[in-house]
Amino acid sequence: MAKDKYHAQVREALENDGWTITHDPFLIPYGVSNVEVDLGAEKLIGAEKEGQKIAVEIKSFMERSKVYAFHQAFGQYMIYQMALDYNSITDRKLFLAASLDVYNAFMIKQQMVDDAIEKYGLNLIIVNMKIKQIVKWIKK
């Protein structure tokens, strides 16, 4: 599967934030198929504590219609969450990564994004792609 336009920037932003990339991509069996989340990562919380684990789907929202792009991204996110649930992978939290520009110009203004976060548990990582830095974590 082709990598998203911002794959390298998101990966570097996660690494800059102290995350170790464990999978690129992160394959999850789902029935007779596999789903392919862009990245798997983990971060140690302390020397003697278990780390946090995440799976990250990266989306550039390059389509003309940002609403359509969000429909696609959210549907894909829900399928990936179902695959995690199907495999009882409860130690890894799923996130959708998007650029700060898309967040400011589109996501922050959309009721559908707010509802996806509140009602369906959509988790977001917002990344400043120019400086490869995570600027916001939104998680339910």
Q: What are phi and psi of 6, to 5 degrees?
A: -100, 15
Compute CA 25 distance to the chain's CA centroid, rounded to the nearest angstrom. Answer: 12
Q: Model confidence over 25-45: pLDDT tens digits? A: 999 999 999 999 999 999 976
- Tell me the torsion sign for CA atoms 133, 82, 119, 108: positive
Q: What is the pTM of this model?
A: 0.93
Query: Is a pLDDT exceeding 70 seen at residue 1?
Result: no
CA atoms within 13 A on the CB side of 31: 4
Kindly report the CATH number that applies to the domain delimited by 20-138: 3.40.1350.10
Domain ranges of the chain: 20-138
What amino acid is encoded at 102 in this protein? V
Percentage of the chain lying above the pLDDT 90 cut: 89
